Every structure is written in C-alpha cells, then in structure tokens.
Structure 1
Amino acid sequence: METTTSADGSYTIVVPEGKKLLFKSLGFSAKEEITDGKTTINVILENDDTQLETVVVVGYGTQRKQSLTGAIASVKGTEMRQTKNENPQNMLAGRIPGVRVWQKSAEPGAYSANFDIRGLGAPLVVIDGVPRTSEDFQRLNPSDIEEVSV
C-alpha cells in the first residue's frame, strides 16, 4: 500500500496491526514505524543531503543516477560567456561533447542557427523547467544562464 500526504502533512492509510510503515521523502532519511494498535502516527523525517546528489532532473521528472542511461555533460554560464558571442546557442559550440551548432546565415542580428545532439535532431529545450523553442534559448540573455546540461 502507498499513500501521500496532503499540503499540511496529514495522511490516511489502513494497515493491519503489527505491520511496519515506511516513511520517506526526497532529501530526507527514511523512517520505519510499527503500527502496534496505534491509530495516529506522527513522524518527523530528518534531512539527508547526501540523497540529493543521487538524483538527476530530466525533462519532466527525476531519475536516480544509477538508472539513468546515457551521459550528462554541462557547461557553466561563466564558461559560455568567455566566447563573447551574443547567441547562447552559438556559445555551446565546442564546449559540450556531441552538441553540433551551425550558423545558417551571416546576416547581422539574425538568430538563425541550428543545433542537434550527435546528429539525431533538435533537442528538447527546457528553460527553468518549462519546455521552450530553440529560438527562445537563442534569445536568452547570456548573463541569466547559470548552467546548460545535455
């Protein structure tokens, strides 16, 4: 059986007497409690910062590092800005393995560049957890970029 808590932390679950309940949440140490006829069980979980390092945010959710297939490469915004280019997409050229960036036009002020990952088509661009277009990424202020992960 499984349940989740409401916004205020309350929950309801029907469990036979003498069974163990396992309480866990991302970033906290798990804790077990035996029911033993109790009708109310209040639990306070302790912080466990080490668990946060084993989770990778991907597209629309999270995966544990050991179940993630593939590699993750990233570049810091400060490293990107060293190129003195106005287009964040062009700043990625040569900085992340497998990312190809090419300019379609040399027209001044034109943001007409393409990029892909290992030639497999346009990547899903997620900015602050929201899916965006490549054009949105190209028009970002490079000073606002903390890190880019592929």
Structure 2
Amino acid sequence: GIYNYCTSSRMNPGFTSEPLAGPGANLSNNRGANLMGSDLYQNLQRYLERYLHTIRELTLVSWRDYMFMHVERHVMAAVLKLIERQRNGESVETVALGLDDADSTKSTLDVYKEHFQKPFVEASEVYYKAESEKFVSENSVTEYMKKAEARLREEENRVKLYLHQ
C-alpha cells in the first residue's frame, strides 16, 4: 500500500534535504515539500486520522439532522415506555437504553441532553407523583416511607444506567 510505496521510493536526484538559501528559506523549514519515505507516510497518516475524525463527526450530525429528528418522538416514547415497564417490575434490556460512555463525543452528548435527559426526568416526576399518591391513599405512612426508600435505591441505579455522569 501507501506505506510500502513511500518507504521504498528512491529519492529524486534533484531532491535535497538541505535548507534553501534566500527569500524562501523560511518556507522549507516546515518540511512540507521535502518529505520522503516514512516521514511522508507518517504525515499522511496523521492528516487522514484528523480528516476521518471530522467525517465521523459530520456523519453523526447528519444522522441527527436527517434521521433522528424525524423519528425522535417515536423513539423517546418507546424508550420512556420501556423505562416505565422496568419501574413496574418487568424485565427490560437495559443495554439498548443506556448512553455509550465509550463514545461521549459532543454531538452524541448533545443529542442525549436535548432529547433524552429532560423527558426522562419529567416522566420520572409524573410517574412517582402518581404512584406515591395512590400508595399513600391505600397504605400507612410507615409503609409509604419503606416503599419510597426502596424506590429511591432503584431509581439511583436506574440513573446510573441512563443519565450521563
């Protein structure tokens, strides 16, 4: 590939690695035109790594703008419904619901903050308000306190799974 070509290429007879004299002398110090062999390969590799990272970011932004924004309401409704089912004691696949901590780039974190965090907190408030009102009307305050303590522990674990630290 590129590495083999760069490292096995012979230098041109006119190529010199000595600095130029005269008005353009400062231009040669950047080595941009005087690269050969593994130096050329390494600089090309560094450039491509930076460029490919940019493409990845652009892809995530494009995905958000052209795909996610059109299905965001449906996705959020489904995610919040799964979380509600989990709160009601059903078993739910949590891997599908969590934030990928290995990929907490700005663009993915923005999507998370704008489209998940606030609705999750609001849905939690609505759920627990309704549950506590119903539970208090049917049980003693002592039982309510025990239930609230257990629910707080459950929610603390849930927050660790779904909310960015």
- TM bin, normalised by shorter chain, reads under 0.3
TM-score (ref. length: structure 2): 0.24
More strand by share: 1
TM-score (ref. length: structure 1): 0.25
More helix by share: 2
Larger radius of gyration: 2
